Amino acid sequence: MPKLQRLLIAASIALLLPFIAQAENNNDPSSQTETASIGAMPSRGMTMDTVKHYFGEPNQRHSPIGKPATSRWQYDDMMVYFEAKYVIHSVATDDNHK
C-alpha cells in the first residue's frame, strides 16, 4: 500500500475516533457531560444530524429562505443557521428576544 494512502487512512481513523467513542456511550447517562466537549453551541460545518444528535430536537425549525437557501433552528438559548445541511453560524439568545 502506498505511503500516502496509509497516511490518509490513519488520519481518517484519528478524526473519526471521538465520534465512534461517543456513539458507544449514548446509552450511558453520564455521556451527557461529554456534550460539553463538543462546545456550548454547534460549530461551522456540523451537519444537521450532528447538531440534532448533540443538542437535541430544536424548539422550532424555520423554513429555508433566500439563495443560497438558509434555514435556522431555534433552541432555548441559541439560534443555529444552516446552508443546505451544514451549520454556517450559531448565535446565543436569551428568553427576552425570541
Cβ 43 vs Cβ 90: under 8 Å:
yes
Tell me how long the chain is. Answer: 98
- pLDDT value of residue 32: 43
**Tens place of pLDDT for every residue, the chain, 98 residues?**
677 777 667 666 666 666 655 554 454 444 444 444 567 899 999 999 999 999 999 999 999 999 999 999 999 999 999 999 999 999 999 765 54
As beta bridge partners, residue 87 has: 82
How far, CA to CA in Å, does 17 sit from each of 11, 34, 42? 10, 14, 19
